[in-house]
Structure 1
Amino acid sequence: MGAGEDFRVTVSKTEVVAAALPSQEHWLPLSNLDLLLPPLDVGVFFCYRKPHGGDNFMFGSMVSVLKKALAQALVSNYAFGGEVVPNSVGEPEILCTNCGVDFIEAFADVELRDINLYNPNESIEGKFVPKKKKGVLAVQVTSLSLSLCSGCIIFAKVFVRHMFS
């Protein structure tokens, strides 16, 4: 294991963020092309430097703003708050029920510069990548070490079919 792989990520809180407004339950069918291709989970992550004097209180405030923004975004992007389930003939469809998005808060005692991004299977997968339970989207926000070179990683994992392209 390299220097950027021997660290732990500790989950401090897991919750579900639903759309800020209620929506009517309905089904979104997938296209024929979607039904031919295997499902994919795609991950995207963003790294941010903590503000000077950033502490756990500031991280908590940032997470609170992110959750509120996600709840607002899910109002018009309601498919991301649904889940993929088989329809009456066994084909996958998105059931839009506003069941929400898994939102995980975590802490890693590592600095961003020490994470081995050349070997993401060892340094990122299973640490910064959230595990989706049932939904279409999962988000993990991880606070990094409290040293001078500290930061924050936001990782979103989404189920992708061509209908989202």
Structure 2
Amino acid sequence: MGSMKELKVNLVRTDVVTAAVPMEQHRLPLSNLDLLLPPVDFGVFFCYKKPGSLEFASVVSTLKVSLSQALVDYYPLAGQVVANSAGEPELLCNNGGLDFVEAFGDLSLRVLDLHQPDETVQGKLMPEKKRGVAAIQVTK
């Protein structure tokens, strides 16, 4: 395989996953530490052994259902950061959901250069966050 700049990841589908039960909209203030520090966007990248007997569509479906159930307890993740009347950021818990992206990539994990994640992971194996406070991508 060539360099990581040649890595191609094709997005197959983007869905929005919300909490499994309806949520009442409300706002949560950020902590003093959140207000003091500059906003930071970070990513977490997990790799799993390819499940032998499961089809990719089955794995994706199971992950969506599990995420939807987890968002019941972790409902702020399905919200968004907005400004309050004083102009300070706070969390609007509106169950707007998270972007859930299905993708296909032709790569071997051995060639990933994790010392340069902007070139190898960001934008390819980790989606751009468009809604909510997190985004999920499942890549086959």
TM class by shorter-chain length? over 0.9
Look up the SS of the partner of 1:40 in the other structure: coil
| Percent of aligned pairs with the same amino acid | 55
Give the TM-score taking structure 1 as reference length.
Answer: 0.79
CA deviation string 1:83-126 (max 9, x = no partner)? 00001111100000000011001011112222222322211111
2:28 aligns with 28
User: How many residues of Structure 1 are paired with residues of Structure 2 in the alignment?
Assistant: 139
Whether 2:139 is the aligned partner of 1:142: answer: yes
Look up the SS of the partner of 1:44 in the other structure: coil
For 1:9-48, what aligned pairs fall within 5 Å after superposition? 9-48=9-48
- Residues 84 and 134, structure 1, Cα contact 8 Å, conserved in 2: no
Whether 2:54 is the aligned partner of 1:83: answer: no
- Residues 5 and 116, structure 1, Cα contact 8 Å, conserved in 2: no
Higher strand share: 1
Give the TM-score taking structure 2 as reference length.
Answer: 0.93
CA deviation string 1:52-75 (max 9, x = no partner)? 366xxx111001000000000000
For 1:41-56, what aligned pairs fall within 5 Å after superposition? 41-52=41-52
Whether 2:101 is the aligned partner of 1:104: answer: yes
Q: Which amino acid aligns with 2:17?
A: V
- In structure 1, the gaps of 5 or more residues are 144-165
- In structure 2, the gaps of 5 or more residues are none
